[in-house]
Every structure is written in structure tokens, then in C-alpha cells.
């Protein structure tokens, strides 16, 4: 048994604490081994050449492995929608899962991803992105959980809890990382109260859920790069929130000053031996780098690995990867994530669900109808062995003889599949000029090596840089033209929109009978959408973002700016503030069942929590699922502002009623001051409804 295994065994038995055994292990390490813990294990040049050759990391990236005493190190895989290091289950993207408004299903997805990561050789999962997007065209909105900090925090904490038995968990990008094309250069300026009230609460929530590590961002905040931002990494994260895990950088360009970063609270430079490998040994010898700072960082890294090893469940057999259970879960999530935005009556009945018995011919059209379209192909990319398109799913269900790709006017129903691809939105590897190239460290001082590295990354830009951020939230002109032509030829037209964020659908949405937002629905998406169209499954999704009538109604930004100011107004809150009605509000979504909510009863506030109890009745003729959304309304700067404070997704049988108690938080109502958060005195109105601002909401004053 190695020294590390003995340490883990002592913690598991309860004989020693993780702090005790981490300190014992640290005393066994040489200075060289201590510094080895503080960055990736693989040399930069070897890594970048391999990365360009394979266009990805097909093996887990390792940091801090020390065989002499058995330290396994951090074996990292990315994957907001699945494991990126090998063929695996591709789930619907995170924003799609946010549309379920169901923490239980997100917990199950994270457990599945964590399980597959372990089986495939990783012990460290970096797939949890919870950045909020104040500007709705952010290219990586698909990786996060929508526009509301409370929703982000609840879904992120559920993912943390689901994955922790299987992997070391990491949350990213800390903080204010919401501009893809400017991420290497932009300074985000934000007032302290806005920072704490709107951009950090969801990160704090994942800390409370037990997140093991935090990935810092590329951008700077109020003039200081986040990878070495002491205010964020130490004063807020550790001193205020009590975080005890470790911090690591974003990939390659996440560090600007290797020596100063250690004292600031940055623990691991990922993923290579890069700037720190060049600078830290001499700095430690000279005293510029304090030994206590090194030991503090190493202790956090070792303690986290020990605690994980002590709690980790045994890895299941490899057959679990993209096996029947996980594919079934991916299909279920795609059902639950699909948002029915419009479902008008045609010939006296709503178009959806389709009546299979009366379907002679279904026309499926659109450039995305038969395209495997799983989302971004950057760091979040997942490569399942097969993917089912919408066309394939319908043909599998109805037979090829009934599903055609021409003559929509002669069909019983026309299904048009349009939207976005990685060419429109996603991760962007751009702006790699002298400022960023020098971050490769001492290796760039060798001219021949610098030439090779520069050539490799210039090549990488050509295959990795696709969509980036979106300046236009509308569909492509050819998509709109197709929708209008098909709708003119066939009043029984269904439009399915694929994408990873806000898509403005005005004014063409009023031309079609039915409209579904399907996001990037994963490898089983085609089967799931066939299930939804034919009524085998309910479209129970609710919008995690707001769709305006015009994109100018939401905040705009120069995506390649060097400086930008973030405020508290975006999404639904921005429209409410401006007195503008959304096309489809936050939380909106129709279904095949119909629900009423009555009998609101509120408990008193205790420890920042209160309960809201309502009766939900399914007045329809089929079983269904309803999302009870609880909002609290109180003035901000003299104007009433609606805050999401709780939600619950529940199944209700046809004709039945259920009493539902929603656990709610007063944190979204709190105001940040120099002394911390305070909840001001004053009246608070609580609403329970089907979406933000629902006129049918039940309303009641929160008891003091």
C-alpha cells in the first residue's frame, strides 16, 4: 500500500482527518515534487503538437501525479454534455437541461457523466459551467443554465451533488466570463454590489453543495486578471464563502504572472508544464516565492484528492458508457427539455400532438433535419458513436414510406427543422497575438520551438474557431424564407428550432401552427422529438432564457471589446425594467396537459428560507408535468423587481390535484453592503405561476 493509499484508508476509517494526512504527505515531498503539484504534468510542446494532431485530448489530462508515494494526480476531462476524452453518451446541452427546471434530472445526468468519466480514465470533471449571460448572444450560453442566477445555482448545485461520488468536481469560469471572442483581453468592470448580488450567488451555491475545485476565467475583473485575482480567489471564495478546495486556471492562457498567482490563491496551472515550470523553481530558491504559499496550495490539492478517494464509489464496467440506461436518460432529458412555445388549433384541434392514425404523409424539411447537431465542437465536444437526427427519428417511428423530404403542401403535416450549428455559436480560439503567445512561458524564448508552437496554434484556430458569439439573434434568412414558404403551402406546419440560446422568432412565429424549442437535443434527440411530436412524451420544458420580440430590447455589446461594464439588468429583468413585453417570458412553456394553481399558503422566513405551498390541478385529459415557479416582488431603486426564489417540477395525473410545497430562498432579495448581505425591511409580494409575470399567478404578502 502506498503512502497515499494509507492516508486515504486512515480518513475512510475515521482515524485521521484529511488535513492531518495531507500534512503528513507534504512532509514526504521534495521541493521539486511540491512544485510538480502546481501545474500539469505534460510538457507544453509535446502537448500542443498532440492536440493539433488529434484536435482534442483523447486521454485525460494529468496534473500532479507523483508515483513515488502513490499520488494519482488530477486526471481531467471536460464535458458539459458528456465525457470529451472518448466516445460517450452525448446528453442535451446544459441550457436544454435547465429548461427542465428539474434538479433531480440534472443530478441524474451529472451522475451519468461522472460515471462515464471514471470508467474512461478520468477522476476530475470540468464540465460544470454556470456563467450568466448578460448579453444573450454569448457563444457558450449552451454550456450554462440560462439567464437567472437562482436557476443557475440550483441546477449547478444539483450537478455537483450528482457527480461528486464519481469524480472530483470543478465549476467554471470564475468569474464574469460571458464574452467568448474577447475573453483573452477584456476587462469586465462591475460595481461591488452588482457583483455580489447578480454575478456570484450561483457560484456560492455550488460551493455550499460541495464543489471540489473552481476554474478561474481568462478575462480580468476591475483591472485584475481573474487567474491571479486575490479579491476573487482568496477574499471572496475562501475568506467569505469558506471554500476549502483548490483553484485551477483555464487552459493555457489562464495565467499572466506565475509567481504572484500562487500567493493570490491560484493553485494549479492547467493543463501543461508551462509558465510555472519555468519561473517557480528559481523564485522559490530566491525567496520571491514564499514556501508557506506553496505549502498552502499543495495542501489544498492533496486534501481534495484524499477526500475524493475516501468517498469515491467503485467504477462500474465499461459497458455503462453510452449503454442502454444512459441513452434512455438522454432521450428522457430531451423530452423534458423541449419547450412548446406555440400550439394553435387547426381544423378545431391543436396541431400537437399529431394523430398517428391519420398521418398518411409527413414532410420533414430544413437544413438541420438530417444533420447530427450536438452543439459546440470546442472543449465541450462529445463524440458519440451514433446520433439520431429528427428525420431518422420520425422514419424509425413512422416508416420511410410515410416520411418524405419534398412537397410539404401535399403532406398531412410539415415539420421544418432550422436553427444554429457550431458555425453560428460556440467556443472561439481567437486573438492569439503576441500578448497571448508569450503566455506559453520560457519555451517561447527558443526561436525554433516558438515557431512550431505558433504554427500549431495558428492551425488550431482554423479548425476550432467557428461561431464564437452571435451579433444577430435571428435565424438565417434562408431558414425564415423556408418557414414562410412551407407555412404558406401547409397550415399544419411545425417548426423545430435547434440552438444553444436566445433565438428571436418574431414575426414569423405567428405564421406557423406549432413551434418547439429543442436546443441541441443530444444523441437521442431525433427519437425524443419524434416521441414529442406524436404524443408519446410530453414537451415539459420551460424557457430558461427570455425571448424578446426584437433583439434590440436586450443588452448589446461589442464582442471584441477590451473593456465593458456589467450591470444588473438583462433578460426578463431588463424587459420588465423597460416596460417591454417579452415574446416568450422566462419560465414560459406550453404542454399537452393543462394546469391551474390555487390555494397559495406561505410560511415565515427562517434562516433565509421560507415555504410556499400551492395546489396544482391537471384540468386536461392526459397526464402531464407542471413547473411551479415562485417569484418574489419588491422594489429596487424604487421600481418593483421580480426575483425567482423557488421552483419545483411535478407530475400530475389527468384530472388530479396535488399539494406542492416549494422550498424558497430570500437570498435573491438581499442587498450587498460593506457589512455583507442584508434583507431590507419592507413588503414582499410572493407570486406562484406558470412563468415570470404570469397574470394568472396566485399572490400573497410574505409574512414578516
Q: Model confidence over 621-648: pLDDT tens digits?
A: 999 999 999 999 998 777 889 999 999 9
For residue 621, give the CATH number of its domain: 2.60.40.10
The mean per-residue pLDDT over the stretch 386-393 comes to 98
Looking at the structure, tell me whether residues 53 and 172 fall in a common domain. yes
pLDDT-based confidence at residue 384 (cuts at 50, 70, 90): very high
Percent of the chain whose predicted confidence (pLDDT) is above 70: 93
Could you tell me the end-to-end alpha-carbon distance of the chain, in angstroms, rounded to an integer? 59
Distance CA 338, CA 343 (A): 13
Measured distance CA(585)–CA(253) in Å, rounded = 37
Above 60 in pLDDT, residue 465? no
Q: Please provide the DSSP assignment of 344-397 as one string.
A: -EETTEES-S--GGG-S-EEEESTTTT----S--STT----S----HHHHHHHH
Judge whether 325 lies within some domain. no
pLDDT reported for residue 563: 97
Q: How confident is the model at residue 454 (pLDDT cuts 50, 70, 90)?
A: low
Within-domain flag for 230? yes
State the Cα torsion 85-89-93-99 to the nearest 10°.
-150
Domain range for 455: 434-464
User: Does 621 lie in the same domain as 501?
Assistant: no
User: Average of pLDDT values for 575-602?
Assistant: 98
Task: State how many domains the chain has.
Answer: 4
| Whole-number pLDDT of residue 344 | 98
Same domain for 107 and 192, yes or no, is yes
Q: What is the CATH number of the domain that holds 357?
A: 3.40.50.1700
Q: What is the pLDDT of residue 430?
A: 63
Nearest to 416 by CA among 495, 525, 513: 495
Does 326 map to a domain? no
Q: What percent of the chain has pLDDT over 90?
A: 90
Position 115 in a domain: yes
User: According to the model, what pLDDT value does residue 678 have?
Assistant: 96
Alpha helices in 56-173, H assignment, sequence order: 94-98, 103-119, 149-163
**Residue partners of 579: CB distance under 8 A and separation at least 6:** none
The predicted pLDDT at position 458 comes to: 56
How confident is the model over 287-300, as a mean pLDDT? 99
Least confident of 58-62, 113-117, 462-466, 556-560: 462-466
Contact criterion met (CB below 8 Å) for 630 and 666: no
pLDDT given at position 596? 97
Q: Are residues 15 and 127 in the same domain?
A: yes
Domain match, 374 and 341 both: yes
The residue out of 445, 464, 483 marking a domain boundary is 464
Let me know whether 362 and 219 are in one domain.
Answer: no
Please, which pLDDT band fits residue 60 given cuts at 50, 70 and 90?
Answer: confident
Tell me: do 357 and 472 sit in the same domain: yes
Q: What is the pLDDT of residue 115?
A: 98
Domain end call among 464, 482, 517? 464
pLDDT in tens, 651-695: 999 999 999 999 999 999 999 999 999 999 999 999 999 999 999
Asked if 516 contacts 441 with a C-beta cutoff of 8 angstroms, the reply is no
588 falls within a domain: no
Place of cell 409580494: 685
Q: Is 500 in the same domain as 605?
A: no
Does residue 161 share a domain with residue 19? yes
- Which residue matches cell numbers 456563467? 131
Residue 289's pLDDT is what? 98
Structure confidence by residue, pLDDT tens digits, 557-579: 999 999 999 999 999 999 999 99
**Chosen domain end from 260, 290, 319:** 319
171 occurs within a structural domain: yes
Confidence of residue 434 (pLDDT cuts 50, 70, 90): low
Give the tens place of pLDDT for each residue, 252-267. Answer: 999 999 999 999 999 9
- Supply the CATH number for residue 170's domain: 3.20.20.300
Q: Are residues 280 and 410 in the same domain?
A: no
Other CB atoms closer than 10 Å to residue 341's CB: what's the count? 21
The Cα-based distances of 400 to 361, 403, 600, 662, 675 in angstroms read 10, 5, 50, 46, 67
Task: List the Cα angle 7/11/15 in 5-degree steps.
Answer: 105
| In a shared domain, residues 103 and 217 | yes
446 and 472 in a single domain? The answer is no
- 277 found inside a domain: yes
Q: Is residue 68 part of a domain?
A: yes
Summarize pLDDT for 67-103 with one digit per residue, the tens. 999 999 999 999 999 999 999 999 999 999 999 999 9
Question: Span 150-159, mean pLDDT?
Answer: 99
For residues 227-243, give the mean pLDDT.
Answer: 98
Chain-wide mean pLDDT for the chain? 94
Amino acid at each position: 500500500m502506498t503512502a497515499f493509499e494509507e492516508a486515504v484508508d486512515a480518513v475512510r476509517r475515521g482515524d485521521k482527518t484529511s488535513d492531518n494526512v495531507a500534512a503528513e504527505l507534504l512532509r514526504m515531498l521534495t521541493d521539486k515534487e511540491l512544485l510538480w503539484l502546481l501545474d500539469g504534468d505534460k510538457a507544453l510542446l509535446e502537448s500542443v503538437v498532440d492536440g493539433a494532431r488529434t484536435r482534442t485530448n483523447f486521454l485525460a489530462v494529468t496534473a500532479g501525479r507523483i508515483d513515488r508515494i502513490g499520488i494519482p494526480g488530477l486526471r481531467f476531462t471536460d464535458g458539459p454534455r458528456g465525457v470529451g476524452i472518448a466516445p460517450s453518451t452525448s446528453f442535451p446541452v446544459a441550457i436544454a437541461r435547465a429548461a427542465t427546471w428539474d434538479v433531480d434530472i440534472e443530478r441524474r445526468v451529472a451522475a451519468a457523466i461522472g460515471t462515464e468519466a471514471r470508467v474512461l480514465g478520468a477522476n476530475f470533471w470540468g464540465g460544470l459551467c454556470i456563467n450568466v449571460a448578460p448579453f444573450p448572444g454569448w457563444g457558450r450560453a449552451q454550456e450554462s443554465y440560462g439567464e437567472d442566477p437562482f436557476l443557475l445555482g440550483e441546477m449547478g448545485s444539483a450537478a455537483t451533488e450528482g457527480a461528486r461520488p464519481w469524480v472530483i468536481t470543478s465549476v467554471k469560469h470564475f468569474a464574469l466570463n460571458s464574452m467568448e471572442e474577447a475573453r483573452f483581453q477584456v476587462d469586465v468592470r462591475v460595481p461591488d454590489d452588482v457583483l455580489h448580488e447578480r454575478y456570484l450567488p450561483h457560484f456560492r451555491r455550488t460551493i455550499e453543495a460541495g464543489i471540489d475545485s473552481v476554474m478561474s476565467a481568462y478575462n480580468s475583473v476591475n483591472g485584475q486578471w481573474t487567474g491571479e485575482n486575490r479579491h476573487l480567489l482568496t477574499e471572496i471564495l475562501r475568506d467569505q464563502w469558506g471554500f476549502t478546495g483548490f483553484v485551477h486556471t483555464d487552459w493555457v492562457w489562464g495565467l499572466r504572472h506565475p509567481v504572484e498567482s500562487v500567493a493570490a490563491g491560484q493553485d494549479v496551472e492547467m493543463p501543461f508544464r508551462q509558465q510555472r515550470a519555468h519561473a517557480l523553481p528559481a523564485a522559490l530558491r530566491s525567496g520571491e516565492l514564499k514556501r508557506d504559499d506553496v505549502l498552502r496550495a499543495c495542501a489544498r490539492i492533496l486534501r481534495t484528492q484524499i477526500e475524493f478517494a475516501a468517498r469515491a464509489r467503485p467504477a462500474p464496467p465499461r459497458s455503462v458508457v453510452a449503454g442502454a440506461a444512459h441513452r434512455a436518460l438522454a432521450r428522457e432529458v430531451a423530452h423534458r427539455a423541449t419547450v412548446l412555445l406555440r400550439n394553435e388549433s387547426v381544423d378545431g384541434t391543436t396541431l400537437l400532438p399529431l394523430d398517428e392514425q391519420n398521418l398518411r404523409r409527413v414532410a420533414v424539411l430544413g437544413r438541420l433535419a438530417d444533420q447530427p447537431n450536438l452543439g459546440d465542437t470546442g472543449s465541450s465536444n462529445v463524440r458519440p458513436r451514433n446520433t439520431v437526427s429528427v428525420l431518422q427519428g420520425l422514419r424509425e417511428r413512422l416508416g420511410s414510406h410515410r416520411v418524405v423530404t419534398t412537397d410539404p403542401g401535399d403532406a398531412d403535416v410539415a415539420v421544418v427543422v432550422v436553427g444554429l450549428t457550431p458555425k453560428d455559436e460556440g467556443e472561439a480560439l481567437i486573438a492569439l497575438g503576441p500578448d497571448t503567445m508569450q503566455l506559453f512561458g520560457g519555451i517561447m524564448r527558443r526561436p525554433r520551438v516558438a515557431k512550431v508552437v505558433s504554427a500549431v496554434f495558428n492551425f488550431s484556430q482554423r479548425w476550432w474557431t467557428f461561431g464564437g458569439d452571435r451579433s444577430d439573434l435571428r435565424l438565417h434568412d434562408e431558414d425564415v424564407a423556408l418557414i414562410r414558404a412551407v407555412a404558406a403551402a401547409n397550415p399544419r406546419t411545425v417548426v423545430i428550432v435547434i440552438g444553444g440560446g436566445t433565438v428571436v422568432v418574431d414575426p414569423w412565429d405567428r405564421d406557423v401552427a406549432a413551434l418547439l424549442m429543442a436546443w441541441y437535443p443530444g444523441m437521442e434527440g431525433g427519437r425524443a422529438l419524434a416521441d414529442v411530436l406524436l404524443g408519446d412524451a410530453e414537451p415539459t420544458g420551460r424557457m430558461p432564457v427570455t425571448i424578446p420580440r426584437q433583439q434590440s430590447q436586450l443588452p448589446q455589446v461589442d464582442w471584441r471589446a477590451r473593456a465593458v461594464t456589467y450591470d444588473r439588468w438583462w433578460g426578463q429583468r431588463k424587459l420588465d425594467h423597460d416596460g417591454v413585453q417579452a415574446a416568450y417570458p422566462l419560465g414560459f412553456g406550453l404542454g399537452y396537459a393543462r394546469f391551474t394553481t390555487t390555494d397559495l399558503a406561505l410560511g415565515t422566513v427562517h434562516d433565509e428560507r421560507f415555504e410556499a405551498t400551492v395546489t396544482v390541478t391537471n384540468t386536461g385529459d392526459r397526464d402531464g408535468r407542471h413547473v411551479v415557479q415562485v417569484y418574489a416582488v419588491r422594489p429596487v431603486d424604487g421600481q418593483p423587481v421580480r426575483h425567482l426564489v423557488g421552483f419545483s417540477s411535478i407530475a400530475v395525473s389527468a384530472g388530479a390535484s396535488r399539494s406542492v410545497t416549494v422550498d424558497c430562498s430570500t437570498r435573491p432579495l438581499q442587498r450587498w453592503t460593506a457589512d455583507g448581505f442584508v434583507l431590507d425591511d419592507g413588503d414582499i409580494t410572493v407570486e406562484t405561476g406558470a412563468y415570470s409575470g404570469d397574470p394568472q399567478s396566485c399572490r400573497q404578502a410574505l409574512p414578516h
